[in-house]
A and B are shown apart, each in its own frame.
Chain A
Amino acid sequence: MLKIIAGRILQAIPVILAIITLTFFMVRLSPGDPFSNEKISAETRARLNAHYGLDKPLWEQYAHYLAGLPFGDFGPAITHPGWTVGELIAERIPVSLELGGWALLVACTVGILAGLIASIKPNTVSDWLPMGFSMIGICLPTFVLGPLLVLFFGLYLEWFNVWGWILPQDRILPSTTLGLCYAAYIARLTRGSMVEVIKQDYIRTARAKGVPFYRIFSIHALRNALPPVLSFLGPAAAGLVSGSFVIETIFQIPGLGQMFVESALNNDHTILMGLTIFYGTLVIGFNLAVDILLTIINPKISNQQSRS
C-alpha cells in the first residue's frame, strides 16, 4: 500500500509543475505588462522592469520564479509596493480556510443525512422530499441562493448580518450557502450508492441473523456506500474554491476568493499568477489526500492496483 501512496504522490508532482509552467507562460506571453496602465516615461518603465527582473530572458525569469516557489516565494506584488504575493496570500488564508472548512462540514452532514433518509424507503415521500430539495439545490447556484438567503434571513427576519466576517454568527450564512449546493450532490450520491449496497447479500445475511435495522443501516451499509461519496470530495474541493469567489464577493469576506476576483478585475497579473498556482496545488493536494484515504479504507482498490 505504501508503494501505491508513493506512486500517487509522484504522479501529482508533474501535474503541479505543469500548472506552474502553464500559468507562468500564459501570464508572461499575454499582451500588456504590469505597468501598462500607468502613465510613465520609457526611462522609468525600463528602470521598473530592471528592478523586478522583467528585462531578463524569459527562461531565466521562469527558473528564478520556480526556485522560489517551494519556499512560498511568489515574487513581489507589483501593485502593492513593499509586499510580496506570498505575504498577501498568507494573510488571507485563515479566513478562506475557515469558510471552506465550515462549508465542507455543512455539505457532508446535510448531504449524507439527506441521502440516508431518502434511501431508507426508496420511491416514497421520505425519498422524494429530500431528493426534490437536492434537485432544487443543484439548480440554484450559489450566486442565486446567496442573495435569496440574505434577503430572507438577513433583511426580512434580521437574524444575521447581511455581510462581514467579524462576529461568530457571521460565519453561518456564508458557510451554509456554500455548503448546501454541494450537500445536494452528496445527497444524491449517498442515496444512489446506499440503494445499491442494501441489495447485496451480506445485508440480507445480517438481517437474517437479526441485527437491528438501524445498525445494519448506519454501520454495515453506510461503510460500503461511502467510497463514491468520498471520491466526490476531490472535485467538490475544486468547486468550493470557485464557489468561494462568489460567496466572498457577496458577503464581502476578506479571503483569498475576494482577492482573486479583485485582481482579475484589476488585471493584477502577479497576484493572479500566484493565486492560480496556490489554488492549483491546493486542489491537487486535496485530491491526493482523498485518493490516499480511499486506498486505505478500501482494500479492493489497493489490491487491484498492486496487481496491475
Chain B
Amino acid sequence: MSSPQQQALRRFSKNRASVCALFVLLTLILACVIGPFFSPYTHDEQNLNLGAVAPNAQHWFGTDVLGRDLLTRTLHGGRISFLVGIIATFVSLTVGVIYGTISGYLGGRVDSAMMRLVDTIYALPFVIFVILLMTLFGRNILLLFAAIGMVEWLSMARIVRGQVLTLKQQTFVQAARCMGQSTTSIMSRHLLPNMLGIIVIYATLTVPNVMLLEAFISFLGLGIQAPNTSWGDLIQSGATTLETHPWQLFFPAMMFSLTLFALNFLGDGLRDAFDPR
C-alpha cells in the first residue's frame, strides 16, 4: 500500500499535459532567473545608434526602439512578473488561510458575518480599487504586491473555510478538543496540515491570476515604472510599435501566454491528482 500523497503523485505523473506544463514552467523560471547573468547586455543598456533591429544572431529577440536587447529585457521582465506572482500569492495565501480557518472553525454568527464580508468584497470591481490605490499612494512595487495580494485572498478564504467545516467534524479534531488543546494549536497542528494539499493546488491556480493582474496594471502604465520592466510593460510597448516592429510584441506576449498556459495546466493537473472526484 502507498500513502495518499504517493498515489496522488503517481496520478499526477501519468497526466502527460501537466508534467509537460511543469517542465515548461521550470524552464521558463530558470531562464528568467539565470538567463540575464549570461547575457552580454543589461536590461537598461541603451544603444541609440542601433535603434530597433529585427531578431538576429547578436540579438535573438531583436531590440527595442532605444536599442535595448529584447531577450535580456524579456527575461528580466519575467523575473519581476514571477516575483510579483509568487509574493502576491503568498500574501493572499496567508490572509486567506487565516481568515478562512478562523471563520470555518468558529462557525455560527462569526462565520456568517465573516463570509458576508467576503461575498461583499467579491462583488466589488476590485481592479478599480487596485488602480486607485496605485494612483493615490505612488507607483510602488511593494504596494503593488500588497494590493494584488489583498484582492486575491477571497477565493482562498472560501475554499479553506469549506475544508475546515468538514474537518472540524472529524473525530481527531474532537479528540484534540477533549484533551484540552487550545483553539490556536488545533488550527495550526491539526487543521492546517490536513489542508496543505488543497492550499498548494489553489495557490498554483492563484499565481496566473496574480500575474495577469500585474500585467494588466503594468500594461496601463500604472504598475512597474521604467527603466524597470515586466511582461505587461513590455507587451504595452510592443503594442504601440506593432506596425513597424511586430517582434517587440510577439516575444513578450509569447512568453507571458506560455507561462499562463503552463500554470493553468499545472493547477488543473494537481487538482485532478490530489482531489479526484
Q: Closest CB-CB distance, A239 to chain B, in whole Å?
A: 8
A interface with B by C-beta (< 8 Å): 15, 18-19, 22-23, 26-27, 30-31, 135, 138-141, 143-144, 146-148, 150-151, 155, 162, 234-235, 238, 241-242, 245-246, 249-250, 260-261, 264-265, 267, 269, 272, 275-276, 279-280, 283-284, 287
B261 and A143 form a contact (CB under 8 A): no
Q: Which residues in window 197-223 of B have CB below 8 A to A?
A: 208, 212, 215-216, 219-222
- Most chain A beta-carbon contacts within 10 A, residue among B232, B239, B264: B239
Tell me which residues across on chain B come within 8 A of A276, comparing CB atoms: 128-129, 132
Closest to B211 in A: A141
Which 6 A-B pairs have CB atoms at the shortest separation, nearest pair first? A30-B136, A242-B127, A147-B239, A139-B260, A238-B125, A143-B219
Select B264's contact among A138, A143, A147, A283, beta carbons within 8 Å.
Answer: A138
Bound together, the chains give a CA A31 to CA B135 distance in angstroms of 11
Q: Which residues in window 106-159 of B have CB below 8 A to A?
A: 120, 122-129, 131-137
A140 and B257 form a contact (CB under 8 A): yes
A238 and B120 form a contact (CB under 8 A): no
A241 and B242 form a contact (CB under 8 A): no
Tell me which residues across on chain A come within 8 A of B264, comparing CB atoms: 135, 138-139
| Contact code string B232-268 (vs A, CB < 8 Å = 1, else 0) | 1001101100110010010001001100110010000
A264 and B257 form a contact (CB under 8 A): no
Closest to B127 in A: A242
Tell me which residues across on chain A come within 8 A of B128, comparing CB atoms: 241-242, 260, 275-276, 279-280
Tell me which residues across on chain B come within 8 A of A144, comparing CB atoms: 235, 253, 256-257
Tell me which residues across on chain B come within 8 A of A143, comparing CB atoms: 215-216, 219, 232, 235-236, 239
B interface with A by C-beta (< 8 Å): 120, 122-129, 131-137, 208, 212, 215-216, 219-222, 232, 235-236, 238-239, 242-243, 246, 249, 253, 256-257, 260-261, 264
B123 and A234 form a contact (CB under 8 A): yes
Tell me which residues across on chain A come within 8 A of B256, comparing CB atoms: 144
Q: Closest CB-CB distance, B191 to chain A, in whole Å?
A: 27
17 A-B pairs within 8 Å (CB atoms) are namely A22-B129, A27-B132, A30-B137, A31-B137, A139-B261, A139-B264, A141-B216, A141-B260, A144-B235, A147-B242, A235-B122, A242-B128, A260-B131, A265-B222, A275-B128, A280-B124, A280-B128
Bound together, the chains give a CA A95 to CA B219 distance in angstroms of 22
Q: Closest CB-CB distance, B62 to chain A, in whole Å?
A: 16
Bound together, the chains give a CA A180 to CA B256 distance in angstroms of 19
Tell me which residues across on chain A come within 8 A of B120, comparing CB atoms: 15, 18
Closest to B129 in A: A276
Q: Closest CB-CB distance, B4 to chain A, in whole Å?
A: 26
Q: Closest CB-CB distance, B135 to chain A, in whole Å?
A: 5
Q: Closest CB-CB distance, A207 to chain B, in whole Å?
A: 27
A23 and B222 form a contact (CB under 8 A): no
B239 and A146 form a contact (CB under 8 A): yes
Bound together, the chains give a CA A283 to CA B125 distance in angstroms of 7
B123 and A283 form a contact (CB under 8 A): yes
B127 and A238 form a contact (CB under 8 A): yes
Select B220's contact among A23, A30, A264, beta carbons within 8 Å.
Answer: A264
- Most chain B beta-carbon contacts within 10 A, residue among A19, A31, A141: A141
A139 and B220 form a contact (CB under 8 A): no
Tell me which residues across on chain B come within 8 A of A141, comparing CB atoms: 212, 215-216, 260
B242 and A242 form a contact (CB under 8 A): no
Bound together, the chains give a CA A20 to CA B227 distance in angstroms of 36
Told that A235-B122, A272-B135, A283-B123 touch, could you supply 14 new A-B pairs with CB distance under 8 A?
A15-B124, A138-B260, A141-B260, A143-B219, A143-B232, A144-B235, A144-B253, A150-B242, A238-B123, A238-B126, A241-B128, A242-B128, A279-B125, A287-B123
Bound together, the chains give a CA A148 to CA B252 distance in angstroms of 13
Tell me which residues across on chain A come within 8 A of B129, comparing CB atoms: 22, 276
Closest to B218 in A: A143
B243 and A280 form a contact (CB under 8 A): no
A148 and B127 form a contact (CB under 8 A): no
Closest to B120 in A: A15
Bound together, the chains give a CA A279 to CA B133 distance in angstroms of 15
Q: Closest CB-CB distance, A104 to chain B, in whole Å?
A: 16
Q: Closest CB-CB distance, A232 to chain B, in whole Å?
A: 13
